[in-house]
Amino acid sequence: MKKKNIAIFASGSGTNAEEIMKHFQKSAVGEVSLVLSNNASAYVLERARKYQVDTMLFNRQVLNETTAVDEKLEEKNIDFIVLAGFMLLFPERLIKKYPNKIVNIHPALLPKYGGKGMYGMYVHEAVVKNRESESGITIHWVNEIYDEGKIIFQATCPVGPKDTPEDVATKVHQLEYEHYPKVIESLLKEK
């Protein structure tokens, strides 16, 4: 079977993107063919170069009001889209073009701590402030509403009374690295 082409959208450091690129270097079902970012200084672009993966940089206006991103995805024959720390709302136009082919990872146990403004460290700060005893990750399909697509997978980690938001971030990142590449691989196998 032909390998599926994966595109990763990321806005920041890209540690998840790197784990996914690393995983799919050795996979028979898919490969990362493109990394896209809305942030010129995002370290994820550097990571993509290290793995010799093609990159595309765009801004909000290009994403929402032109078809430049669509054309790049088509040129690369993208079959599956992974959001990994992508901080812009994913446009409805692309969601319609790639039905059930776009996944996101959220650094908490949705439906808790989701929605607009809940991303990255803001999530972990809220979890600690509310004295939660656990947090975790949620991998879900992307639909038109922030963090409300169907949940595919969740994993939890304990939050201790002395944990700082940084401690929680570390635990959540470990879960992300452990599970996100494998969950993507199993979804590709089902397609």
Per CB under 6 A, residues contacting ligand GAR are: 10, 12-17, 84-85, 105-107, 119-120, 123, 173, 176
73 vs 83, which CB is nearer to ligand GAR?
83
Cβ 177 to ligand GAR, closest distance in Å?
Answer: 9
Q: At what angle do helices 120-129 and 165-190 cross, to 10 degrees?
A: 120
Residues whose CB falls within 8 Å of the CB of residue 34, separated by 6 or more in sequence, listed in order: 5, 6, 7, 8, 53, 54, 55, 56, 72, 73, 76, 78
Cβ 148 to ligand GAR, closest distance in Å?
Answer: 12
Pairing of strands 151-158, 134-141: antiparallel
* Residue whose Cβ sits closest to ligand GAR: 85
Our answer to whether residue 106 is catalytic in this structure is yes
85 vs 165, which CB is nearer to ligand GAR?
85
98 vs 177, which CB is nearer to ligand GAR?
177
Cβ 34 to ligand GAR, closest distance in Å?
Answer: 16
Which tokens is 92 given? 């409805």
Instruction: Give the Cα-Cα-Cα angle 39, 43, 45 (nearest 5 degrees).
Output: 75
Torsion sign, CA atoms 169, 135, 172, 83: negative
30 vs 136, which CB is nearer to ligand GAR?
136
Q: Which residue among 23, 106, 173, 179 is the active-site one?
A: 106
Cβ 78 to ligand GAR, closest distance in Å?
Answer: 19
Instruction: Give the Cα-Cα-Cα angle 14, 89, 50 (nearest 5 degrees).
Output: 20
